[in-house]
Structure 1
Amino acid sequence: MQLFTREWGTGDRVAVLVHGLFSSSRTWHRLGPALADEGYRVVAVDLAGHGQSPRLENYSLAGLVRSIADSVPLRPELAIGHSLGGLTLSRLIRRLQPGRAVYIDPAFLGTRLPWWQRAGAPMLFHSLLNRPARAVARSNPRWHKDDVEIEVSDYAAFDRRFFRRFGDGRAMPLSAPDRMVVPSLMMLADRSRLVSATMADRMRGLGFEVRVVAGAGHTVHRDDFDGFRRALHGWV
């Protein structure tokens, strides 16, 4: 399945960007141009059910992986994924074969979520998606106003049928990778809620470099773009 993609820059150095849940390729509106200025052709996808990409009757992590592989150049120099995008990138990595990978506060929750929290996730998500712009701004005080506007627009575009799969651990498994396939950086929010200290240590043991952006929340690249760029030093 062909996904909608957004591009910045030109040339042979390719970077692939994969956004998180509820979002779209517009989340990279600052990073895309910045990477283009450094000589990259940047290709950012809208995941299925998000942004301008097709809607499906059923969603699965395997399906997200296949659709990205069908929509972006293989063997890019760099691949970056945030949250659900980081989880998806970890499953895509063997097929995509990037030169290096960056996982921004990825959804490596493993089995830490009990069944009742998984079952309650759709109700929580629905309440989040119905927030007006002022509530989004209030809960994300460090965001630029453009990010607030983009987020509200992305909420409106999101396919609610995606929720059906979140209670199904088989369709949306949240396990972390068990090996490092390419040189990889895991960039974490300060006191990440998605990656525990134990999980971070496990990833270090696999060879991942782990960096924490002090003071940043889950959307590291929106909470502190300058700190995010500093944390990318040596990987871009």
Structure 2
Amino acid sequence: MRLHTTTWGAGDRLALLVHGIMADHRTWRRVGPALAERGYRVLAVDLRGHGASGRADSYATRSYADDLVETLPGGAEVAIGHSLGALTLSLAVRELAPRRAVYADPVWYLPDGAAGYRPELFTRAKRFTREQIRTANPGWDEVDVDIEVESVAAWDEATAHGLMDITGKDLLPAGPVVPSLVPIADPSSLVPQKRAALLSERGFEVRKVTGAGHTIHRDDFDGFMASLEGWI
């Protein structure tokens, strides 16, 4: 599927941005322009079932990666993915072949069983009020709260059920395909301390953004950008 894309800047270097579940390209509203100011042309996608991209019969994890390969140019200077977007980027990174990859709080493991991943934890977000979103994300700007309201309304909640195909499967990469950074939340439920240490052993650079929640770039924009120093 060809995805909807948004562009910031017109620099000689190319950066790619891939959002997480329930979001769309607008989650990068500050990151995109900040990279453009550094001389990048920035391309951000809306994944299938999100934003202005099409809906699909299948939300199997591999289909997201295939969409990236179909939509985005190869050989970017840097590619950044968050959460589901980080997983998707990791599955497409060999074909896209960016010079560097950034996987922000990636979904490389979702536990199964009674205490594991449950799609309804996401689908119930369709009923959240603006005030509930604001309460759940106290560090967000009001603009980000407004964007979340709109992006969740546009989101196809069937994507949450698509993640069932990876529950209980350890998708932690054996090693980086290209030089790779993993900024993580503090604390991170997706990349706890033992898994962060394992990533470091496997050749990834792991940087904790102190005090940030899962959506690092919205919870602490300055901290997120600082975590990218030397990589962008």
Q: Structure 1 counterpart of 2:3, which letter?
A: L
Q: Structure 2 counterpart of 1:165, which letter?
A: G
Q: Distance in 1 between matches of 2:226 and 2:114?
A: 39
- 8 Å CA contact 2:19, 2:84 repeated in 1: yes
Q: Structure 2 counterpart of 1:163, which letter?
A: A
Q: Distance in 1 between matches of 2:137 and 2:95?
A: 35
SS state of the match for residue 71, structure 2? coil
- 8 Å CA contact 2:61, 2:163 repeated in 1: no
User: Is 1:181–2:177 an aligned residue pair?
Assistant: yes
**TM-score normalised to structure 2 length:** 0.95
Residue aligning to 1:135: 132
Q: Deviations over 1:198-236 (max 9, x none)?
A: 111111011111100111100110011111111111111
- 8 Å CA contact 2:4, 2:52 repeated in 1: yes
Q: CA RMSD in A?
A: 1.5
Q: Distance in 1 between matches of 2:190 and 2:71?
A: 27
Residue aligning to 2:219: 223
Q: Distance in 2 between matches of 1:154 and 1:108?
A: 24
Equivalent runs, 1:186-201 vs 2, <5 Å: 186-201=182-197
2:163 counterpart (161, 166, 180): 166
User: Is 1:38–2:15 an aligned residue pair?
Assistant: no
Structure 1 residues 59 and 178, CA gap change in structure 2 (3 angstroms): same
Residue aligning to 2:7: 7
Q: Distance in 1 between matches of 2:225 and 2:163?
A: 31
Give the CA deviation at 1:197.
1.2
Residue aligning to 1:214: 210
Q: How many residues align?
A: 232
- Amino-acid identity (%): 46
Runs of 5+ in structure 1 lacking a partner?
none
Give the CA deviation at 1:165.
1.9
Q: Distance in 1 between matches of 2:165 and 2:78?
A: 31
Residue aligning to 1:82: 82
- 8 Å CA contact 1:115, 1:167 repeated in 2: no
- 8 Å CA contact 1:17, 1:80 repeated in 2: yes
**TM-score normalised to structure 1 length:** 0.94
Q: Structure 1 counterpart of 2:191, which letter?
A: V
Runs of 5+ in structure 2 lacking a partner?
none
Give the CA deviation at 1:11.
3.0
Residue aligning to 2:49: 49
Q: Structure 1 counterpart of 2:16, which letter?
A: V
SS state of the match for residue 214, structure 2? coil
Give the CA deviation at 1:174.
5.5
Residue aligning to 1:155: 152
- 8 Å CA contact 1:20, 1:81 repeated in 2: yes
Residue aligning to 1:21: 21
SS state of the match for residue 121, structure 1? coil
SS state of the match for residue 70, structure 1? helix
Q: Deviations over 1:50-106 (max 9, x none)?
A: 000010011111110011111111110000000001111111110010000111111
Give the CA deviation at 1:117.
4.4
Q: Distance in 2 between matches of 1:174 and 1:130?
A: 31
Q: Deviations over 1:94-147 (max 9, x none)?
A: 00100001111111226xx123345x6122212223111111011111100010
Q: Distance in 2 between matches of 1:5 and 1:132?
A: 28
- 8 Å CA contact 2:61, 2:165 repeated in 1: no
Higher mean C-alpha displacement, 101-110 vs 223-232: 101-110
